[in-house]
A = this chain, B = another copy of it.
Amino acid sequence: MRIAIAQLDYTVGAFDANLALMREAVEKARIQGSDLVVFSELATVGYPPGDLLERRDFVDRNLRQLEHVAGLSDDSLGIVVGYVDRNPTGRGKGLFNSAALCVGGRSVARYHKCLLPSYDVFDEARHFEPGGPARPLLFKGVRLGISVCEDVWSDPDLDGRSIYHRDPVLEQVEAGAQLLINISASPFELGKAAQRRDLVRRYAAQSGRFFVYANQVGGNDELVFDGHSIVVDPTGRVVVRGHDFAEDLLVYDIDLEASDGELGELRPVAESTGEEAVKALELGLGDYAKKTGFGKVLLGLSGGIDSALTAAVAARALGPDRVLGVAMPTRYSSRGSLDDAQALVDNLGIDYRVISIDGIFQAYLDGLAPIFQDCEADVTEENIQARIRCGVLMALSNKFGRLLLTTGNKSELAVGYATLYGDMAGGLAVISDVPKTLVYDIARHLNRERETIPQSIIDKPPSAELRPDQTDQDSLPPYDELDRVVEGYVERNLSVSELAAEGNDRGVVELVVGLIDRSEYKRRQAAPGIKITAKAFGIGRRYPIVADYKGLHG
């Protein structure tokens, strides 16, 4: 059986454009003599549709889309496609997250996803009813054991426990499935492709079946889908692998009688954390700009490492001619920062403007003088500068239709070392899930072959330059210590005592944890950021603002 995995980049709700992509994939697969084309989870609507699922018109349109996709099938070429089905029983949630088997121009059979992820960025119990017992669907005499995304994540070995009571893939195997197929929309995080691959390999080897795993690709809001679709043979070997972070059509011949598979094409994929991260950020930014209709972006260039990396990612994702960097010096900006920004711009070949904001800053100080007369200068004056930069950048964004990119990193966002309505402003926070230590790693990765980010930017101590001779380390512990605590507290939910027991300085732990807790109000209004770690700030971390966090750790 010749299988074609269509690994495509959908825009949520773009029914016509998505259908055109799917039609093209089916035609290519047909030319190559494929028996079955496999699309990813919820391919009729694009994942994740969120509460659009609550709209009847949206679900109707998805059902019409299913008919269109089914219409691409014929008697020799079948299609498996993810879609939203209605639950007709009047009991339970009103929708299923489903896969349809389409043959002869019609949807002929369906499977409803059984395991509905409801953690981190996933809200599937919000919209969907779980499917009943998993049963194979017959196609060309072969019993297909179809499952949808999370259905392969029931392994109790993952965390020492299972949050689920069922294993739909095993149900399929026990019900006689001869070929396993999973359609996914599984978002990227560092290391996740390997984790997914191991799950699929284990099922294939345990069951002695071929396993076809088809994943979505592309950036949608905070999530990047990395593709990385695979076929695993009954020995547990990956026999064909799709691109990471790019569309693909993977064709592979499965001999259902064979005990192992011939080795097909293994596309080259990212080999280091730095490479993986850059590819994810590029795709996330590129798709956000493209799918929101912004052709061009702008960002503030401070001369520091964060804005330098963001600019470099933008130049790679969109091309340097679509990126404008703006330096906005004040009395506190060093000559070196402007030189560094210029060197970066020269390396990247992006557009560049310098706009002094000192006149505006002085106008603020003058306007506020009557009311601030008896007050010492404090963080207020620093924030005013950051907010003026926001005002200038947003004015350029409004006037010239450019998407403003925010440049803050995860370490800063964690501890609130950022100004709300200031440097936190922007349509997309490109590196807000990249810890500062990883920012440097990625910069070094980008510089492997030739200097992209000027070495002087990498070498100098980070500074916000909002008062004379300021450096980040005046207010914060060294970034390697900071990042260890952020990772333990945010990604692993460790307590203060547990963090100290892991060897972190207790004073540093208490300082950092206190800052993280107190910054929740800032993050609630942060720009959406591209998720690359197991726990990003954003839609997947839902902490209250109003809470006695001090009491919690006491």
Q: A: which residues have CB within 8 A of B?
A: 11-17, 46, 48-52, 54-58, 61, 90-94, 118-119, 123, 125-126, 156, 160-165, 219-221, 287-288, 291-292, 353, 355-357, 359-360, 362-364, 366-368, 370-372, 375, 378-380, 383-384, 387-388, 390-392, 394-396, 398-399, 420-421, 425, 427, 493, 495-498, 521, 524-528, 539, 541-549, 551-554
Contact = CB atoms under 8 A, between A and B. Distances in A.
Given A55-B493, A56-B493, A391-B364, A15 B163 contact: no
A431 to B, nearest CB: 17
Contacts of A497: 57
B544 A49 contact: yes
A118 B126 CA distance: 5
B163 A94 contact: yes
B375 A15 contact: no
Given A52-B543, A368-B392, A544-B49, A13 B551 contact: yes
A495 B57 CA distance: 6
A34 to B, nearest CB: 28
A47 to B, nearest CB: 10
Contacts of A55: 493, 495, 552
A276 to B, nearest CB: 22
Nearest to A93: B163
Given A13-B552, A551-B13, A50 B544 contact: yes
Contacts of A524: 527-528
Given A94-B163, A368-B396, A390-B421, 16 more contacts: A15-B548, A52-B547, A55-B552, A57-B495, A57-B498, A57-B553, A61-B552, A90-B160, A91-B164, A91-B165, A125-B125, A372-B399, A380-B395, A383-B394, A524-B527, A539-B542
15 contacts: A11-B546, A11-B547, A15-B551, A15-B552, A49-B547, A50-B544, A90-B161, A94-B161, A359-B367, A378-B398, A380-B398, A387-B391, A390-B421, A394-B420, A525-B526
Contacts of A368: 355, 392, 395-396
A436 to B, nearest CB: 23
Contact of A92 (B163, B356, B375, B521): B163
Given A421-B425, A547-B12, A356 B367 contact: yes
Contacts of A420: 394, 425
Given A371-B396, A395-B383, A546 B425 contact: no
